[in-house]
Amino acid sequence: AQSVAQPEDQVNVAEGNPLTVKCTYSVSGNPYLFWYVQYPNRGLQFLLKYITGDNLVKGSYGFEAEFNKSQTSFHLKKPSALVSDSALYFCAVRALLSGGSYIPTFGRGTSLIVHP
């Protein structure tokens, strides 16, 4: 089964410091990987994706993610955190169902808290 794991329920970082939110994946074949952000009582917003090509993917709001095939990881990063980055972050993978359809499958989410 194709899945992603987010090992941290919560990440705390001081404003201005770099941040990393971790994600590992389990996929047969080439993975399609995604990051989303969710603010309270809102839907998820797409941040970035990796399908093929450069292992460092840049996305919205200054976020980037590094695809590492040997470590099966796709960690989300930002060089300098802002208080407004505080939110719930989801890693996702495109998973193939038995019926032949692909669906987005999400990790449990990591709460990012940026302290002033």
Partner 1 sequence: SQTIHQWPATLVQPVGSPLSLECTVEGTSNPNLYWYRQAAGRGLQLLFYSVGIGQISSEVPQNLSASRPQDRQFILSSKKLLLSDSGFYLCAWSGRMNTEAFFGQGTRLTVV
Instruction: State the residues that interact with partner 1 by CB under 8 A.
Output: 32, 34, 36, 40-46, 49, 51, 88, 90, 92, 94, 97, 99, 101-109
Do the Cβ atoms of 114 and 18 come closer than 8 Å?
no
- Nearest-CA neighbor of 114 among 35, 41, 61, 67? 61
Q: How far is the CB of 92 from partner 1 (least distance, A)?
A: 8
Is the CB of 16 or the CB of 111 nearer to partner 1? Answer: 111
Q: Which is nearer to partner 1, 5 or 82 (CB)?
A: 5
Smallest distance from partner 1 to CB 104, Å: 5
In angstroms, what is the minimal distance from the CB of 16 to partner 1? 27
Whether the CB-CB separation of 81 and 19 falls below 8 Å is answered with yes
Where residue 43 falls (left for φ over 0; alpha for ψ -120 to 50; beta otherwise) is: beta
CB of 109 to partner 1, least distance (A): 5
CB 115 within 8 A of CB 15: yes
By beta-carbon proximity to partner 1, the closer residue of 17 and 58 is 58
